[in-house]
Chain A
Amino acid sequence: MSPATIIFYIISAFILGTGVLAVTTRKIFRASIWLLFSLIGIAALYFWMQLEFLAAVQIIVYVGGIVVLIIFSIFLTIKSGEEMPKPILIRSIFSALAVLFGTGFVVRLISLYTFKPISTTAFNLSVNQIGTQMLDTKDFGYLLPFELISILLLAAMIGCIVIALKSNDKEATTFQNSIQ
């Protein structure tokens, strides 16, 4: 085995191990931390494949963005430090079965598909290429999805602002009255 393969197996074991810990731990905050490590492991896998841009984006979006959001929402819940009750037996049995079937399904699919190496040369993607591809209107350009996602995000942002806006005093009082 070459050193690169060894590193690949170490990273994979790290991702799977932390992933299993994330679903089996009974403390909710620890679960989020294990999830964080699992996502970092995936970024490490991208680095291993020399896809630095993708790895950096993985860390920014998932680790710096989503996990921080999850941790914040855990902080704001009351029982963040306590252990969850043990799941009932029947539920664990069914989830184990689901996992088994899922694994079997994936293994079957992989064994049916024959992987052919596309090219032996490592692809060296520069950020410039990614940028031009992203805003390209010709073949294999991603301008339309890019713009669609931009509009989606804009809608989400405007929605946030509208929700966060201070409502008029009159409306607020009627709202409060309706609650009471």
Chain B
Amino acid sequence: MFIVDYVKDVYGAMKSLLVGMNRTGYYFTHHKEIITEEYPDNRETLILPERFRGEVVMAHDENNEHACTGCSACELACPNGTIKIINKFDISPEGKKKKAIDTFVYHLELCTMCGLCVEACPTAAINMANTFEHSVFNRGQLTKRLNKPDSKLKAGVE
């Protein structure tokens, strides 16, 4: 019947509105469950998730050695030309020429933090760091050199 449907309609509408208001009212009264991070104030205690992708870095051990062989797999994998690898040829003690990395150029201003370079790296030389405060005053400062000066290839990495 029409009138029964009408009353049912109104009743159902009021009930669903009250359910919604109950939910928001719960949040309003339970102020402790705040999910906001008060960012600049909590710099010391800020914990970022492990898989957060901030920027590409190259790990160096205590002997200033890294695992990058200069294969440029990352350069090929990068979708927007962020990475540029400049190679040199080392002369080994046996007198053999050996390809090695000279400069690992990383353009942070072009990077979209997709992480494809890290996946492409055969020797796990680069990885994504957690840092995210990248603001600088000059765009030139965003072009970075990832391998430290005078760093060498780790022994045993081919």
- Asked if A and B touch directly (CB within 8 angstroms), the answer is no
